[in-house]
Amino acid sequence: MLSLISFLGFTALVAIISYFATRKTDESTSDGYFLGGRSLTGLVIAGSLLLTNLSTEQIVGLNGSAYKEGILVMAWETLAAIAMVVTALFLLPRYLSGGIATIPTFLERRYNKTTKAITSGLFLSGYVVVLLPIVLYSGALAINAMFNVPEMLGVSKNAALWFSVFAIGIIGSIYAIFGGLKAVAVSDTINAVGLLIGGLLIPYFGLKAIGDNSISQGIHTLLHNNPEKFNAIGPADSSIPFSTIFTGMMLVQLFYWGTNQAIIQRALGAKNLKEGQKGLLLAAFIKILGPLIVVIPGIIAFHLFQGNLANPDEAYPKLVTEVLPASLVGFFAAVLFGAILSSFNSALNSSVTLFGVDIYKEFINKKATEKETVKAGKNFGILLAFLSMFVAPFIANAPDGLFGYLQEVNGCYSIPILTIIVVGYLSKRVPAVAANIAIVLGAVLYMISQFILKPYLFGENNYLHYLHVMAILFVMNILIMLAIAKFKPRNTAYSQEFTNEVDITPWKHAKLIGSLITLIVIAVYIYFS
């Protein structure tokens, strides 16, 4: 009962603070609703970025991977910091100078409306089919386990799963659809603090359990007894072979942190470039510490449970119940609930933005007012939310190793979109037809490679890693686009217009901090190699 009270109390506190922080924001306009009135500061952006990224499928999934393979899976966390540096120094100045609300908006200006429509469709497909249902499903599993919901409600596990999915979905929808980006960002920031505290408590108590109430002894014992788990250089048969770090891994990271609408929308809402860069670089620095929350607990669980768990994804929930004092369970559940909501409502808010700005106003009602555009986006968001709630419980049949599986599936749209954005900014003469061919061809070839040809060409246990496939297709698509531009270039060179939406004076310390972050990441790999 104490756990439930503390859970409800912290959750209500976040909602109340978010309401008072956003009640004066004008959400009748696209900028007000979709970009928080372009008023977000660096601290808010950093908190929202971290919480949007960190959710149950990552906390549970990555710790499960670490339980099985060790610290080499930290690549998903530490290399993200470098991608965020690139975004802060290269992409964000260009985004803000163009005053865009969505990534497809830039693609329309650079290429044409067809490019924008295809990209928006790919983003929405990824959110509907993969991201939203997965977040709801994994979140419901975590909440059900921590509060034993089936027993509490006197229902079956399946019925409890449906109940929790809809509870999370409805609450998340209220934040995302009726509060706009600023409500999402504010609630994310509060929850980010709680998640960092709660997340660090797990390895703290875990190491104390290993070291007989001594942190230093726990660290020594963990390192001494499990040296194979602390090698960051992944072998060829691991989920992240070391060679993939230099190919598809960095491309996936750059797509996620630099072009994924659900993530970059936080930086697009910055009050100026300086605050946007501060937010991205602060988040990048904290991201380096991410393995303490999403990797180390998995290794601690391996040591404590002697590798006897049949399903690695059970490692983190079991560790929490074993080492966390009962008095803190409610607080940690509330923080975890905030992380679940963050990923769900952030993706949903971005879906609403994509539909309202890039589809409804462009193809359905070109004469729509700002108010009508926002209303249409909200209605679409409600439909999308309920659709994802109905799909989520059926993911119980998904394969094991959900985190890696999701990364592989996301390649269907991540690399094609990244390709046309990179070429769009680095070239001036590549025409729209080249981008449209590249994005469709990239998606189709990737799906054929991974889901049709792989079992036949390479076998089940001997195949070209999907991250390498991504890199090959990335280079191939760039060459195709450049070849088309050679024979059929744009009539006029592309020139980006400065819209004066926000001040784009860069932060004077951005390059220095970015270089420092990159050096720290390299040092971490050298230390654990």
pLDDT in tens, 369-396: 877 887 887 788 888 888 888 888 877 6
Which tens digits make up the pLDDT trace of 236-273? 888 899 999 999 999 999 999 998 876 887 788 888 89
Mean predicted confidence (pLDDT) in 110-130: 83
Question: Sign of the C-alpha dihedral, residues 146, 151, 152, 153?
Answer: positive
The pLDDT assigned to 216 comes to 93
Mean predicted confidence (pLDDT) in 482-487: 94
Q: Which helix (H) or strand (E) holds 296?
A: helix 296-305
- State the DSSP string of 128-167: IIIIHHHHHHHHHHHHHHHHTHHHHHT--HHHHHHHHHHH
> What are the residue boundaries of the structural domains of the chain, listed by start?
2-16+28-400
Q: How far is the first Cα of the chain from the last one, in angstroms, to the nearest whole number?
A: 46
Backbone angles phi, psi at 366, to 5 degrees: -65, -20
Q: Phi-psi region for residue 363, left (φ > 0), alpha (ψ -120 to 50) or beta?
A: alpha
Confidence of residue 362 (pLDDT cuts 50, 70, 90): confident
Which tens digits make up the pLDDT trace of 140-165? 877 887 777 888 888 888 898 899 99
What mean pLDDT value characterizes the chain?
Answer: 82
CB atoms within 10 A of CB 19: 13
pLDDT > 80? residue 4: no
Residue of 322 and 22 predicted with greater confidence: 322
> Tokens 């100078």 belong to which residue?
97
Q: List CB contacts of 332: < 8 A, sequence separation 6 or more.
A: 146, 198, 201, 202, 320, 324
What is the token pair recorded at 144? 């059900």
Q: Would you identify the CATH topology of the domain 2-16+28-400?
A: Sodium/glucose cotransporter (1.20.1730)
* Distance of alpha carbon 302 from alpha carbon 308, whole angstroms: 8
Which tens digits make up the pLDDT trace of 300-311? 999 999 878 777
Query: Which of 60-69, 174-183, 280-289 has the highest average model confidence (pLDDT)?
Result: 280-289
The pLDDT assigned to 257 comes to 92
Alpha-carbon separation of residue 141 from 15, 38, 50, 153, 184 (angstroms): 23, 36, 22, 15, 23
Q: Is 500 helix (H, G, I), strand (E, B) or coil?
A: coil
| pTM (2 d.p.) | 0.80
Confidence of residue 458 (pLDDT cuts 50, 70, 90): low
Q: Is 238 helix (H, G, I), strand (E, B) or coil?
A: coil
**Which of these ranges, 47-51, 282-286, 394-398, has the smallest mean pLDDT?**
394-398
